[in-house]
Amino acid sequence: MSPTLSARILAGATERLERRVGAPPRRARRGPSGRAWALGALGATFGLGALGVGWGLVSERAAATPPAGPGMGDLWQLGVPLLVAGALAVAGLVVWRLAGWLAAGQGDRWLHAQPRRRIRWRWLAAGLVIGATWFGGHSLLVAALGLADDVRAADVAVVLGNEVLPDGTPHARLKSRLDRAAGLLRAGLVRMLLVTGGQGRTGHEEADVMRDYLLARGVPADRILVDRQGYTTYDSAVQARALLGPLGLRTVVLCSQYYHLPRARLAFTRAGLGPVSTAHAPVRPEWHEPWSLLREWVGYYVYLLRPYPG
């Protein structure tokens, strides 16, 4: 081999080696990124929530009457917290992205010039994401516990008050609670009914309206106890103990909407009644339920921390 050819081969090999050494390293194949997992989780949350809400609406509207126990319509109650939690999580991620955008100098100069504001945005975003996770988990647990009736034979079925319409008739939510309690009485699962409520915004005494509704449906008057001081669930629990104790009645079944029952059970148990079981009232889906779930989320921890009479 001639010296010239050897020199050319050596020069070519050297050039290829230099290009290979100077080239950026190839990225190793990895699994899905954290962003992909986050987007997948959000997609699954919204998908399951939409499926639950849609299926619940279709099945409830197809039914002539709502089922007395858990049914396919109850998927609505499971879907709503998923949708709300997903919306809160998306809001948190949007705020987090906006904070990063501002920090990168791509936003308004006034905001970018003040690091404290960027930190506040970050805290807001983190709070929204944490709150979404907390709310979603809590609400799913509330739905699971509220829909899983554990009705046992008891002394009294307690019907917790709700809205009375301006014409003096109970709202559909309240009717469903009363019908459930009346069914327990007819089935021999309870001996008495206690209706508890205060004066509502329309000026009517909830407890009196509830009593009249039960009387009109054939419930004997001597089976109905009335408490007109139940302005809140806490008041109803405390009043129930004071009213039922002297009568020798202690075991109760609570009748209310599913999202209300975990907080109500907590209040009645800590008030000194028990054992406490629950029977959720069948009701058609309503658009106010996201607000009810948010209210119960906060209310549960308020009731957990507040003192109860000994």
| Assigned domain for 191 exists | yes
For residue 97, pLDDT over 80 is answered with no
| Assigned domain for 91 exists | yes
| Assigned domain for 29 exists | no
Q: Are residues 83 and 129 in the same domain?
A: yes
User: In terms of residue numbers, what domain contains 265?
Assistant: 154-305
User: What pLDDT, on the 0 to 100 scale, is given for residue 255?
Assistant: 96
Q: Are residues 196 and 300 in the same domain?
A: yes
Q: Are residues 159 and 140 in the same domain?
A: no
| Assigned domain for 19 exists | no
Q: Are residues 135 and 161 in the same domain?
A: no
Q: Are residues 297 and 159 in the same domain?
A: yes
Count the Cβ atoms, other than its own, within 10 Å of residue 302: 10
Q: Are residues 72 and 94 in the same domain?
A: yes
Q: Are residues 214 and 289 in the same domain?
A: yes
Alpha helix (H) ranges present in the chain?
3-22, 34-62, 75-103, 109-112, 115-147, 172-186, 206-216, 233-244, 261-270, 289-305
Angle at the Cα of 278 from the Cα atoms of 276 and 281, rounded to 5 degrees: 155
In 3-state terms, what secondary structure has residue 230? coil
| pTM of the entire predicted model | 0.68
Q: Are residues 162 and 74 in the same domain?
A: no
In 3-state terms, what secondary structure has residue 33? coil
Q: Are residues 77 and 218 in the same domain?
A: no
Residues in Cβ contact with 150 at an 8 Å cutoff, skipping those fewer than 6 apart: 277, 278
| Assigned domain for 7 exists | no
For residue 247, pLDDT over 60 is answered with yes
- End residue of a domain, out of 147, 168, 192: 147
Mean pLDDT of the chain: 76
Average pLDDT over residues 81-95: 63
* Chain length of the chain: 310
Q: Are residues 115 and 245 in the same domain?
A: no
How many domains does the chain divide into? 2
| Assigned domain for 15 exists | no
Q: Are residues 109 and 162 in the same domain?
A: no
Amino acid at 88: L
- Residues 149-174 pLDDT 10s: 889 999 999 999 999 999 999 999 99
Which segment, 11-15, 74-78, 114-118, 265-269, is predicted with the most confidence on average? 265-269
Q: What is the CATH number of the domain that holds 254?
A: 3.40.50.620
Count the Cβ atoms, other than its own, within 10 Å of residue 123: 12
User: What pLDDT, on the 0 to 100 scale, is given for residue 12?
Assistant: 61
Average pLDDT over residues 212-226: 96
Q: Are residues 76 and 206 in the same domain?
A: no
DSSP 118-176: HHHHHHHHHHHHHHHHHHHHHHHHHHHHHHS-----EEEEEEEP--B-TTSPBPHHHHH
122-131 contact pairs (CB < 8 A, 24+): 122/96, 124/95, 125/92, 125/93, 125/95, 125/96, 125/98, 125/99, 126/92, 126/96, 127/92, 128/88, 128/89, 128/91, 128/92, 128/95, 129/88, 129/89, 129/92, 129/93, 129/96, 130/92, 131/88, 131/92
- End residue of a domain, out of 111, 126, 147: 147
| Assigned domain for 20 exists | no
Q: Dihedrals φ, ψ of 253, to 5°?
A: -120, 125
How far apart, in whole angstroms, are the C-alpha atoms of residue 49 and residue 133? 14
How far apart, in whole angstroms, are the C-alpha atoms of residue 299 and residue 293? 10
| Assigned domain for 22 exists | no
What is the CB-side half-sphere exposure of residue 12 using CA atoms within 13 A? 6
- End residue of a domain, out of 122, 147, 172: 147
